[in-house]
A and B are shown apart, each in its own frame.
Chain A
């Protein structure tokens, strides 16, 4: 993993940026997305939002809509919006993204169980949340992403949650993954690469 700056990322010209984000729990567990993140989430730079749910407030959905019209949300156990599905498959470029909140996975966040869900949804990238713990890993040539909680919301699963989300740049069969974390008031970014086989 290399440390890179946000400026490095934003100077890209060909844009196919996807934000994976979730577990905001506003107002249940937080009063809002940290301003440090809001500064990064600017309209017209982001093409797709894949949200793992538990927003909870409509305000957050409206906010996503101001960033891009292509917003996909699955239902978390505290979302009341009945129009959110439990799972959703979104195809972007050469990749099939599977979206699921993750409260249905037993045990929560278990890699073996996630692998089964990946097989069921038949996707290249499986994005889930619920644990509030950011995690990106490859297994059986598939990519698994948990963007954590963008508000650093309290969790009984993860101690001292760090606010986080994930940005992806899809180019052909390659995905560049940027992990954003808010640590002591400053944003830290890590970069990872994944290729479809």
Chain B
């Protein structure tokens, strides 16, 4: 409280810092100005005194590290000015004298700054051997043990001597690169100790702030390591024998996590990849000795990533098995660091996997070893821990990377630890990975030829194949997504292929047994392709038998063909059982055609009967009935079936179904189509029964004629059927029949505006055109 009654102004810590810094900076600049003037006037002693005053400002304890750094930079500029003046030697003094003179400065900090300034010029002018001056200076710096002041003093030492360090090719008398290494390492060690001590400067409640402030100064310490890396004399050999052991010793001994973390990162960053490659064991064993709070994962992962990139650009010496070194060390580190986060452990696995796939693409056992280790580790972890998003992400990466790299699902399936790893994931993630596998297989069109591989693939993606205990309720699943997924799974069948028929059939049996577990929602997607593939398979097999590529006698063929068709029948039956009647009916029709082409009449007939049974019992919708019957008629028409009795039974059954349709319109329409059952005229079969053709057409016409609301369209359709048989020169339909029908339609049923009017006009136009070119049309009058 201000006793004089004026208003007290309380400054925030930031404002306070600003104020302290401004004041100190101001003082430095005033003294600096005096110093420059003194130098301009050749008054060196005065200038040194003003310099002392500048440095005195650096004795402050009021500034945060950041502010201190800003102040240091201002002071540094003036010191540089002095430095250049001294080097120009206008003062006429010998360096040894000056070196003595500045040792009399009153306070230790100004004395040491001045000593370093003069010392650096001393080396530069070569009036003394560098190694001796360096040794002297670094010893004297011990005099300052205050962390911030000491740190900056040593930083100053490092800055002004950086271009004066003995190195390869410099004058032997000044010292060797080993003197420089000794000097830098010692400075590094001391600076690091001071830096570490900084954290103890503040009360515990300020610890976080203090640590953050401390981080601002890490560069000062790290600079020493880059200095080392810049020395030409530090080659791989010197690095591994001299530099690394000393640096590592300090890193381990400081026992402080922030320092360890930062210094390891810098060490890896500033030295070249070749050096790390040669000293992997040392670096990794250092990692295992770091404090428990150190993010070892980040250090190792960045090293692995660097070396993996290096390996992709360069050849790695054969005697170094990078993967083995990393793998063994990582394994050990994970074991020894009980508190390592699972996501970090998994992250290391991802790095290891990338490493081996980049460096040793042929050694797939390495990839398997990584997945195996991961599996082993996850076995001892709780579900909650594994299912954290950060962990799940890494596990999914581990599973996706081999797919992306191998571009071949077969190679991925060979990794024995791959599938077990999937099992650790939750339902949705297992499904996601399974879909990735399916999409990858389809995208790369990977053909799978071995039944065992098919089995292994379908087992691996089992989340998509069958119900699982942890899946969501069916009504929670997006129907469209589900269908898309199942369509993808269903597509796989087209990639299962083998030149060996026995193997291929075995593949289909394996696939059938997996898909069979899928339940109604899945088999409606997955079994249909299996039916078509089986039909394609048996068609091809028959052709190979016919062409003599595969030698089977008639009996053998019938036996094998029957076996395959039984498989087809049993597969369609599964769809019949879940009441997919229309689909099953169509599949039966497909099977009829294939069996017919394979010359298996008994089976053809069996399938036809199955189709008819479904039609009678399970297809109830009127429109569906019309569609189904239309397809049945064309199917029967297309057959080569030589057994006339069998055919006529089927044709008779078909007509019977047509007469049972609900509406007379449909009856008439379908009976008229049934005329085609009696006029089969193609390469493989001739079956011509003109009387039955005409009978069907008459019957059809009489049904529609008796309808009061007959309309026009069915009449025109019948007329066009008549024309069909007339154009076929079938003699089934007399010209008079057509003329009468046209007359009937015109007089009785043609109404303006009927949607079939155009059809009628086009038909009449067609007849008229034909009359011009085709003599047989002469007898038709329109």
Contacts and interface: CB of A to CB of B under 8 A. Distances in A.
B634 A107 contact: yes
Interface in B742-759: 756, 758-759
A59 interface: yes
Given A31-B494, A119-B762, 20 more contacts: A25-B532, A27-B490, A29-B529, A58-B483, A59-B487, A104-B630, A106-B633, A106-B634, A113-B724, A116-B720, A116-B723, A119-B766, A120-B716, A120-B756, A120-B759, A122-B762, A154-B535, A156-B535, A157-B593, A157-B638
9 contacts: A27-B490, A27-B494, A31-B495, A105-B634, A107-B676, A122-B759, A154-B536, A156-B593, A157-B593
A96 to B, nearest CB: 11
Given A105-B634, A156-B535, A28 B442 contact: no
Contact of A78 (B442, B586, B769): B586
Nearest to B480: A58
A64 to B, nearest CB: 16
Contacts of A140: 766, 769
Interface of B: 442, 445, 480, 483-484, 487-488, 490-495, 525, 528-529, 532-533, 535-536, 539, 583, 586, 590, 593-594, 597, 627, 630-631, 633-634, 637-638, 673, 676, 682, 716-717, 720, 723-724, 727-728, 756, 758-759, 762-763, 766, 769
Nearest to B723: A116
Contacts of B597: 156
A113 B630 CA distance: 14
Contact of A28 (B529, B633, B759): B529
A84 interface: no
Question: Would you call the interface of chain A mostly helix, strand, loop, or mixed?
Answer: loop
Contact of A26 (B487, B539, B759, B762): B487
Given A77-B627, A106-B637, A107-B634, A32 B724 contact: no
A104 B533 CA distance: 25
B593 to A, nearest CB: 4
In the A-B complex, the 5 residue pairs with the smallest Cβ-Cβ separation, listed nearest first, are A156-B593, A31-B491, A119-B762, A27-B491, A27-B490
Most buried by A among B490, B583, B634, B637: B634
A112 interface: yes
Nearest to B728: A112
Contact of B525 (A27, A107, A157): A27
Contacts of A116: 720, 723-724, 763
A137 interface: no
B449 to A, nearest CB: 16
Interface residues of A, number: 30
A57 interface: yes
A16 B638 CA distance: 38
Nearest to A110: B724
Contacts of A59: 484, 487
Given A106-B673, A140-B766, A140-B769, A27 B758 contact: no
A27 B724 contact: no
B245 to A, nearest CB: 58
Interface string A123-164: 000000000000000001000000000000010110000000
B131 to A, nearest CB: 70
Contact of A112 (B533, B535, B594, B727): B727
A78 B583 CA distance: 7
A141 B634 CA distance: 27
Interface string A1-42: 000000000000000000000000111111110000000000
Question: Would you call the interface of chain B mostly helix, strand, loop, or mixed?
Answer: helix
Contacts of A108: 634, 638
B759 A112 contact: no
A103 interface: yes
B491 A119 contact: no
A25 B490 CA distance: 12
A32 B444 CA distance: 12
A29 to B, nearest CB: 5
B484 A58 contact: yes
Contacts of B682: 107
Interface in A29-68: 29-32, 57-59
Nearest to A111: B727
Contact of B590 (A32, A57, A119, A156): A156
A77 B766 contact: no
Nearest to B590: A156
Contact of B488 (A27, A28, A122, A157): A27
Contacts of B758: 122
A119 B720 CA distance: 9
A104 B491 CA distance: 27
A26 B528 CA distance: 11
Given A28-B528, A29-B529, A119-B720, A156 B494 contact: no
A119 B590 CA distance: 30
Contact of B759 (A30, A104, A107, A119): A119
A138 to B, nearest CB: 14
A84 B532 CA distance: 23
Contacts of B491: 26-27, 30-32
Contacts of B536: 29, 154
Contacts of B493: 27
A156 B535 CA distance: 9
Nearest to B628: A77
A140 B774 CA distance: 13
A27 B486 CA distance: 9
Nearest to B765: A119
Interface string A164-179: 0000000000000000
A41 B570 CA distance: 40
Contacts of B532: 25, 28-29, 154
Most buried by B among A108, A120, A156: A156
B514 to A, nearest CB: 16
A133 B163 CA distance: 83
Contacts of B724: 112-113, 116
A97 B594 CA distance: 33
B708 to A, nearest CB: 24
Contacts of B631: 77, 103
B714 to A, nearest CB: 12
A23 B7 CA distance: 91
Contacts of A105: 634
A29 B724 CA distance: 33
Nearest to B681: A107
Nearest to B442: A31
A47 B735 CA distance: 47
Contacts of B756: 120
Nearest to B758: A122
Contacts of B539: 154, 156
